[in-house]
């Protein structure tokens, strides 16, 4: 007897199968909640019907100019309404959105525009100078579209042949766009930071974007009409997929050109912001803001933190602020968050220090991610869940890049053994929660002992004078490497290197105590991550301290 009875005559048809795509979220929001607010950006206030019409105009206008399936459209934009629109209008015609990091230099931007073969680029006036230089070095013809944000009053000029609003005016607000024929089709192109060599182009597909957008909702229990503040750059992992998440909930995009503590608190009060995301440095900015900025917030605010393991002191500070903090972990290749430190009810009875230590872990897999594991990268065997044995965090599942654009060797290496290799070293705890020990390149090997820079940073963050800290390896003739701490102090705070060393001695084994300390403003990426690769270059010249 045949065992294929569940296959015979039971085929995929237009009636029973549709490719998953986050583009359907905006169509539904506009259909079901047409007059609900979608965009808030100073004087610009738009509902979902207006926003959907503008995305269709964008798709129509680009299509009329010969842009279509498989073409790349780049965007050099801050967190403004036009960036939200690009996340829908560009892929509506099968094109691929490449959001550019607004802090990059012209040479790197030119590389990305060439590598991705961009046919068009949206340019905010603030970035006209660097983009003019970058575009001059682009090999292929490229349509430059100027975006003149009404909330921007700084320098800059128009460098393109077409204005964004004029482009939209030429488009059809009733444009009949088609969903992708295959959910595996590319939707976005994101470049890695490129701290060593050229950045790699990470290709996202519609299925993964849909799945991560939904996972965001599930993790946060995100309600209809949530009010989302754009503290996280939309150019970073497509704002972790929140342009699509907010549309799925018919929420409000509260746009923000620049991260500033006073502006953030003002918007939280005025717009009654319910959700926002940011790196630990952004959360610390809010925790350490003057008390007068923090008053008058009477509603619950949900904050999501990622980018580095948040120190316990920062988590404690967020709780004192009254913000409900969710810690997630991930990388560009997995669309941003791929694990979450899912909080357990019994944790609420613990002292705040214990609770913070538990919440600082990277946690368990995101809802629609298939699997997370900690494995020995050489044998590919899973390490014991004992909280001690170090392995590498690896992922597999639907929320995973297609691969690296035009780089099959790097793609093959990243997916070696059927898992995506993160390069992050971690342990698995008995309760199934994973905890990062360090990036493989950030482990300090001193006298043959492995030292976690994160462990030292966590201790330094507990000092009341410390705003931000990064610990890296300093070359040492005797020990091979020793810890070197770069410390940024809170405004008005003073502390000596010797005092910080004494603080570390009280909480760490002697071989883990920093042998060098430098006070400085820490170099950071546009998403608030501390650039340790820059600090490694400087560590050798930092004077050693007697410990």
pLDDT (tens, 9 = 90+) of the chain, 547 residues, equals 557 889 899 999 999 999 999 999 999 999 999 999 999 999 999 999 999 999 999 999 999 999 999 999 999 999 999 999 999 999 999 999 999 999 888 998 999 999 999 999 999 999 999 999 999 999 999 999 999 999 999 999 999 999 999 999 999 999 999 999 999 999 999 998 644 467 899 999 999 999 999 999 999 999 999 999 999 999 999 999 999 999 999 999 999 999 999 999 999 999 999 999 988 778 888 998 999 999 999 999 999 998 666 777 777 888 888 899 999 999 999 999 999 999 999 998 988 778 888 888 999 999 999 999 999 999 999 999 999 999 999 999 999 999 999 999 999 999 999 999 998 889 999 999 999 887 767 778 787 667 888 889 989 999 999 999 999 999 888 788 899 999 999 999 999 999 999 999 998 888 899 999 999 999 987 667 788 889 999 999 998 887 6
CA 463 to chain centre: 28
Structure tokens given for 282: 């952004």
The residue count for the chain: 547
Same domain, 388 and 456: no
* Other CB atoms within 10 Å distance of the CB of residue 410: 15
Residue given tokens 């909330």 in the structure block: 151
Same domain, 524 and 428: no
End-to-end CA distance of the chain: 78
Would you call 156 exposed, middle or buried from its count of C-beta atoms within 10 A (0-12, 13-18, 19+)? middle
Q: Does residue 76 lie in a domain region? A: yes
* pLDDT tens readout for residues 327-343: 999 999 999 999 999 99
Contact assessment for residue 181 and residue 21, using Cβ atoms and an 8 Å cutoff: no
Among 384, 410, 440, residue at a domain's last position: 440
Would you call 219 exposed, middle or buried from its count of C-beta atoms within 10 A (0-12, 13-18, 19+)? middle
Phi-psi region of 403 (alpha: psi -120 to 50; beta: other; left: phi over 0): left
Same domain, 447 and 434: no
Tell me how many helices (H) and strands (E) the chain has: 17, 26
Sign of CA dihedral 513, 515, 519, 520: negative
Same domain, 320 and 436: yes
Domain containing 333 — which CATH number? Answer: 3.40.50.12780
Domain count, the chain: 3
Closest CA to 162 of 264, 265, 58, 239: 58
Among 440, 473, 493, residue at a domain's last position: 440
Q: Does residue 224 lie in a domain region? A: no
Reduced to 3 states (helix: H, G, I; strand: E, B; else coil), residue 202 is: strand
List the domain range (segments joined by +) for residue 281: 259-440
Same domain, 154 and 279: no
Domain containing 477 — which CATH number? Answer: 3.30.300.30
Closest CA to 210 of 220, 218, 198, 199: 218
- What integer pLDDT is reported at residue 320 of this predicted model? 82
Among 424, 440, 456, residue at a domain's last position: 440
Residues 6+ apart with CB under 8 A from 320: 287
Q: Does residue 238 lie in a domain region? A: no
Contact assessment for residue 121 and residue 114, using Cβ atoms and an 8 Å cutoff: no
In this structure, the strands spanning 227-229 and 323-331 are: unpaired
Task: Give me the residues paired with residue 252 across strands.
Answer: 227
Q: Does residue 247 lie in a domain region? A: no
Would you call 441 exposed, middle or buried from its count of C-beta atoms within 10 A (0-12, 13-18, 19+)? middle
- What integer pLDDT is reported at residue 195 of this predicted model? 42
Q: Does residue 13 lie in a domain region? A: no
Q: Where are the alpha helices (DSSP H) in 182-335?
A: 206-220, 237-240, 242-248, 261-271, 280-287, 312-321
Structure tokens given for 412: 């093959």
Q: Does residue 171 lie in a domain region? A: yes
* Other CB atoms within 10 Å distance of the CB of residue 212: 30
Q: What's the Rg (C-alpha) of the chain?
A: 24
d(CA 330, CA 339): 7
Same domain, 199 and 265: no
- What integer pLDDT is reported at residue 317 of this predicted model? 83
d(CA 179, CA 197): 36
Backbone angles phi, psi at 239, to 5 degrees: 55, 40
Same domain, 425 and 469: no
Complete DSSP assignment for 265-289: HHHHHHHT--EEEE-HHHHHHHHTS
pTM value is 0.86
Same domain, 461 and 436: no
* Other CB atoms within 10 Å distance of the CB of residue 308: 19
Q: Does residue 486 lie in a domain region? A: yes
Closest CA to 527 of 148, 147, 98, 230: 230
Same domain, 404 and 462: no
Same domain, 266 and 197: no
Q: Does residue 2 lie in a domain region? A: no
Contact assessment for residue 260 and residue 233, using Cβ atoms and an 8 Å cutoff: no
* pLDDT tens readout for residues 249-277: 999 999 999 999 999 999 999 999 999 99
CA distances from 127 to 77, 189, 280 (A): 8, 20, 26
Same domain, 70 and 137: yes
Same domain, 68 and 84: yes
């Amino acid at each position: 007897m045949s065992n294929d009875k569940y296959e015979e005559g039971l085929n995929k048809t237009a009636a029973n199968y549709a490719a998953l795509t986050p583009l359907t979220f905006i169509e539904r929001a506009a259909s079901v909640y047409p007059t609900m607010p979608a965009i808030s950006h100073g004087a610009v206030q738009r509902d979902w019907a207006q926003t959907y019409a503008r995305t269709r105009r964008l798709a129509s206008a680009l299509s009329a100019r010969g842009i279509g399936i498989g073409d790349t459209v780049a965007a050099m934009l801050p967190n403004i309404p036009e960036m939200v629109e690009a996340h829908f209008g560009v892929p509506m015609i099968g094109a691929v959105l490449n959001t550019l990091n607004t802090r990059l230099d012209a040479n790197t931007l030119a590389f990305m525009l060439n590598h991705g073969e961009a046919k068009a680029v949206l340019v905010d006036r603030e970035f006209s100078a660097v983009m003019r230089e970058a575009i001059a070095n682009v090999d292929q013809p490229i349509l430059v579209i100027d975006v003149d944000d009404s909330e921007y009053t700084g320098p800059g000029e128009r460098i393109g042949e077409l204005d964004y609003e004029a482009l939209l005016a030429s488009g059809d607000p009733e444009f009949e766009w088609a969903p992708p024929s295959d959910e595996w089709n590319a939707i976005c192109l994101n470049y890695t930071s490129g701290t060593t060599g050229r950045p790699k182009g990470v290709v996202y597909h519609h299925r993964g974007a849909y799945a991560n957008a939904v996972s965001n909702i599930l993790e946060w229990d995100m309600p209809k009409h949530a009010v989302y503040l754009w503290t996280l750059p939309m150019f970073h992992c497509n704002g972790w997929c929140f342009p699509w998440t907010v549309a799925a909930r018919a929420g409000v995009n509260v746009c923000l050109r620049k991260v500033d503590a006073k502006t953030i608190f003002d918007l939280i009060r005025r717009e009654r912001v319910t959700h926002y995301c940011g790196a630990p440095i952004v959360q610390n900015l809010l925790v350490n803001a003057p008390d007068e900025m923090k008053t008058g917030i009477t509603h619950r605010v949900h904050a999501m933190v990622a980018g580095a393991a948040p120190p316990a002191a920062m988590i404690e500070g967020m709780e004192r602020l009254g913000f409900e903090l969710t810690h997630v972990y991930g990388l560009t290749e997995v669309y941003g968050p791929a694990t979450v430190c899912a909080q357990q009810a019994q944790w609420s009875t613990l002292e705040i220090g214990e609770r913070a230590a538990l919440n600082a872990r990277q946690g368990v897999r995101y809802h629609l991610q298939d699997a997370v594991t900690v494995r020995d990268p050489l044998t590919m065997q899973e390490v014991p869940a004992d909280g001690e044995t170090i392995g590498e965090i690896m992922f597999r599942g639907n929320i995973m890049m297609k691969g690296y654009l035009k780089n099959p060797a790097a793609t093959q290496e990243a997916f070696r053994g059927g898992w995506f290799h993160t390069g992050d070293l971690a342990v698995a705890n008995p309760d199934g929660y994973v905890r990062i020990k360090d990036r493989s390149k950030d482990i300090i090997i001193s006298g043959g002992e492995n030292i976690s820079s994160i462990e030292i940073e966590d201790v330094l963050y507990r000092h009341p004078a410390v705003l931000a800290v990064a610990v890296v390896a300093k070359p040492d003739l005797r020990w091979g490497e020793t810890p070197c701490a770069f410390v940024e102090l809170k405004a008005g705070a003073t502390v000596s290197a010797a005092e910080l060393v004494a603080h570390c001695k009280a909480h760490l084994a002697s071989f883990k105590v920093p042998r060098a300390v430098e006070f400085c403003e820490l170099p950071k990426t546009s998403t608030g991550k501390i650039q340790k690769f820059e600090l490694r270059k400087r560590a050798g010249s930092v004077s050693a301290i007697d410990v």
